[in-house]
Every structure is written in structure tokens, then in C-alpha cells.
Amino acid sequence: MSIADSSIASELSPVAPGGQVEGESAPGLSAWALALRRLRRNKAALIFGALFVVLVALALAAPLWAQVADTTPARNHISDTIVVNGKSEQVVTLEGVPIGPTWQRKFFLGADSNGRDVAVRLLYGARNSLFIGLTATIITTLLAVVLGLLAGYFRGWTDAFISRGLDIAWAFPPTLLGVALGVSFALGGLKVGPLRISGDSLWIPTLVIGAIGVVYLARPVRGQVLSLREKEFVEAARAQGAGSLRIMFGELLPNVASTVLVFFPLLVANAILNEAALSFLGAGVQAPSPSWGTMLADGVLLLSTAPHLTIVPGLMLALTVLALNVFGDGVRDALDPRAKVRLER
């Protein structure tokens, strides 16, 4: 878990004052437009960015495909037969071996051991995995930024309190914590005051993954706020009579946000991988809801007779994460070209 997070921490370097992005200013072009131009020149990032958009679109189109295939992700057709290439085949043989990809409307990518349509489940699973990945990252980002701002700006006791808290949270082995919390909440649901979340809701893994990621982002944000608050523009704002809240959310936040946003795609990629890991161990999405992780968990059990059950979700997962990584790299290079070599020596 969160390995890339630590690399993010080391790469989160303070951005120039004024919330602006570095780069040579050509006459008439704002820094953001410049960044966009750099991004456009990065072919790889564009291609993979488009790939990601395509994947999201596919995921959103899941109900459409379900209609085409005339089934739902949970319906099992375990004793059905279908006609493939003129021959009548069993969806699941008497020995529990499911059919492989048929490349037809029904069971386009084959069936799983419960006789469910893999393609339909894959797309619905994509929805779930992407939802969890994105939402968890949003939660992480919001919490981390707020905590970092509070700690970095107010310093003193607030900082001590928050920092000690972060230290302790950091000490918890993230994977173990995620698994333990995931399993506990999956079995019993989450009951906090009036809030009741059932054990098989998607919000459980979302909250767990979101919460665990906070500590890895909060510290670097705090570090950045600490250095930023000494800059002239903050002093200027104070001189103008701005209150703490205004300074935090008006001046510091945009700076911090632009840096954090640079890492957003990478954070999402990480969250998606984390969700797959948790679901694989049974601590994430609960059956029968599909997710790439649960599909992989089911798939490896049938690796020799039905390899498509392992290969298909794994490939899709890897592609999505790769797309996010490459695109995220491109975004970072565009917004912070110091990280990339200047070819013009």
C-alpha cells in the first residue's frame, strides 16, 4: 500500500509564491495556459489520458452493456446453455468450469464459476472500483489539506496536537489497519452516532482507504504551509487586515491545492490498487458486488481451467492504473517542469 505515497511526499516540493506555476513566461500567456501547452506536447500523457476517459466511459456505460447482454452483474446462469459458433455449450460445466470468452453478445468475455457474465461484471466492477478510488482520494485530499493547513498555519499547540496524531497514525501498518478495519466493518457495519452504514456498502472500503491515505499527504502539506506562511504575500495579506481563515483559505489554500492536485491522478491510481488489494483479501468490497479485486480473488482459484477470469480483470486494473500514472506524470511535468530535464542544455 501507499508506496507511491512516500515518493509523493519526497517530491512535494514548495511551489513558487503567488500560487503560480513555474516556467518561463512567454509574453501574453498565463502560466496555466503554458502548462496546458506543455501537456499537449506530451503525447504519451495525452494518449493515456484519453484511455482513462475511455475506461471511465465504459464503466458508466455498464447498464447499457447489461441490456445488450440481457443480464445483471448478480444474476447467475449457472445451468444455462448457449450457442457458440453453432455448437451448444454449457455456461458452467458440471465440474464447475465456466465458459471462456465467446465474443458474442452474451458472455462476451466468458462466465465466472457462478455463471455470471464476466463482461457485465467487469464494467460494473469498474464503476465500483473507480467510484471507490476517486471518492477515497477526494476524502484523503480534503482531510489532508485541512489538517495540513491547520497545523502549518497555527503552529503551536494545534500543530503539536495534529503532528503527534499524524506520527501515531503513521506508525500503524497501513495494510494491516486497512484489512482489520475492512473486515470488522464489513461484518458489523459502521455505526457512528446517527450514521449507520451497512457492512456491504461501498462506503466502507471508501472510508477506510480514504482515512488511511490522509497521513501520507497531511505531512507534506503541513511542511509546505509552514514554509509558505513566511512568504511576503502572506505578510501582505495580514497587513491588509485579513483574518486567519481568509489567509488560510484565500491565500495558502490555492498554493497548496495546486501542488496537491498535481498528484491527484497518482493518488487515485494508488487508491484503486489499494481497493483491489483489500477486496482480494476479503476486506474491501463484499460479494456479490463486483469489483476488480473480488473478481481477481475468484479468478485465481480457477487459474488453470479458466485463466480469463484472472487475466481480464487484472489487465483492466493494470491498464487503468497505468493510464492514471502516465497521465499523472504528464500533468506533473506540465505544471512543474523543474522535475523534468531541460533538454536545451
Partner 1 sequence: MGRFVIRRLIGMVVVMFAVSVLTFLIFNVIPNGAPEDRMAGRNSTPVQIAAIREEWGFDKPLYTQYLTTMKKVLDGDLISYANQTNVIEEIKRGLPRTLALAIGAALIWFSLGVALGLYTAIRAGRWTDTLVTVLALIGVSMPVFWLGALATYYLGFKAGIFPNGGYSEIGEAGLWEWVKHMILPWCVLATLFIGVYSRVLRSNVLDTINDDYVRTARAKGLTERRVMIHHVLRNSLIPIVTLWGLDFGAVLSGGAILTESVFDLQGVGQYFADSIDQLDVPPVLAVTLFGAFFIVLLNTLVDIVYAALDPRIRLS
Partner 2 sequence: MSRTFRGLACLSLACLAPLGLAACGGDDKKSAATPSGGTSSSSTGSTGGRITSATTSFPDFLDPALSYTQEGWQALWTVYTPLLTYNHAAGAAGATIVPGLAEAMPDISADGRTYKLKLRSGLKYSDGKAVKASDFEHTIKRVLNLESGGASFYSGIVGAEKYIKDGKAKADIPGIVPDDATGDITINLVDPDGRFPYILAMDFAAIVPSDTPFENQTKNPPPGVGPYKFENVQINRGYDLVKVPSFNVPGQQVGKLDTIEVEIVKNRRRQTQDTIQNKLDYMNDPPAPDQLRDVRAQYTDKRYKEFVTNSTYYFFLNHRVAPFDKPEVRQAVNYAIDKRSLARLFGGLLEPDCNFLPPGMKGYQKIEPCPWGDPTAAPNVARAKELVKQAGVAGQSVTVYGNDEPEAKSLAQYLSDVLNDIGFKAKPRIVEASVSFATLGNQKTKAQAGFANWFQDFPHPANFFFLVDGKTIQPTNNQNFGNVDDPKLNAVLDKANQNADIDAVADDYAQADKLTVGGAHVAAYGHRKLTVFYSERMDFENCTVWHPVYNLDFTNLCLKKQ
Provide the binding-site residues for partner 1, judged by CB under 8 A.
1-4, 6-7, 10-11, 44, 164, 167-168, 170-177, 179-181, 183-185, 187-189, 191, 269, 273, 276-277, 280-283, 296, 300, 303-304, 310-311, 314, 317-319, 321-322, 325-326, 329, 338-343
Give the nearest distance from C-beta 157 to partner 2 in angstroms. Answer: 43
Give the nearest distance from C-beta 287 to partner 2 in angstroms. Answer: 7
Confirm or reject binding of residue 115 to partner 2 (CB under 8 A).
yes
The residue to which cell 468475455 is assigned:
109
Confirm or reject binding of residue 302 to partner 2 (CB under 8 A).
yes
Confirm or reject binding of residue 92 to partner 2 (CB under 8 A).
yes
Q: Are 108 and 102 in contact (CB under 8 A)?
A: yes
Confirm or reject binding of residue 305 to partner 2 (CB under 8 A).
yes
DSSP string, 310-334: HHHHHHHHHHHHHHHHHHHHHHHHH
Q: CB-hemisphere CA count at 13 Å for 185?
A: 26
Confirm or reject binding of residue 344 to partner 2 (CB under 8 A).
no
Could you give the CA distance from residue 246 to residue 231 in angstroms, rounded to a whole number? 16
Residue with Cβ nearer partner 2 (240 or 304): 304
Confirm or reject binding of residue 240 to partner 2 (CB under 8 A).
no
Residue ranges in 130-189 that form contacts with partner 2 under rule CB under 8 A: 187
Strand extents, DSSP E, 164-264: 190-192, 195-197
Q: Are 119 and 69 in contact (CB under 8 A)?
A: yes
Give the nearest distance from C-beta 195 to partner 2 in angstroms. Answer: 21
134 makes contact, choosing from partner 2, partner 1, none, with CB < 5 to 8 Å by partner type, with none
C-alpha 253, offset from chain centre? 22
User: Which residues are 81's β-sheet partners?
Assistant: 90
Residue ranges in 20-59 that form contacts with partner 2 under rule CB under 8 A: none
- Radius of gyration, alpha carbons of the chain: 24
Question: Given phi > 0 = left and psi -120 to 50 = alpha, else beta, which region is 156?
Answer: left
175 makes contact, choosing from partner 1, partner 2, none, with CB < 5 to 8 Å by partner type, with partner 1
Residue with Cβ nearer partner 1 (189 or 288): 189
User: Which residues are 197's β-sheet partners?
Assistant: 190
Range 87-91 contact pairs with CB under 8 angstroms and sequence separation of 24 or more? 91/115
Confirm or reject binding of residue 294 to partner 2 (CB under 8 A).
no
Interacting residue ranges for partner 2, rule: CB under 8 A = 74-76, 78-79, 92-97, 113-115, 187, 287-288, 301-306
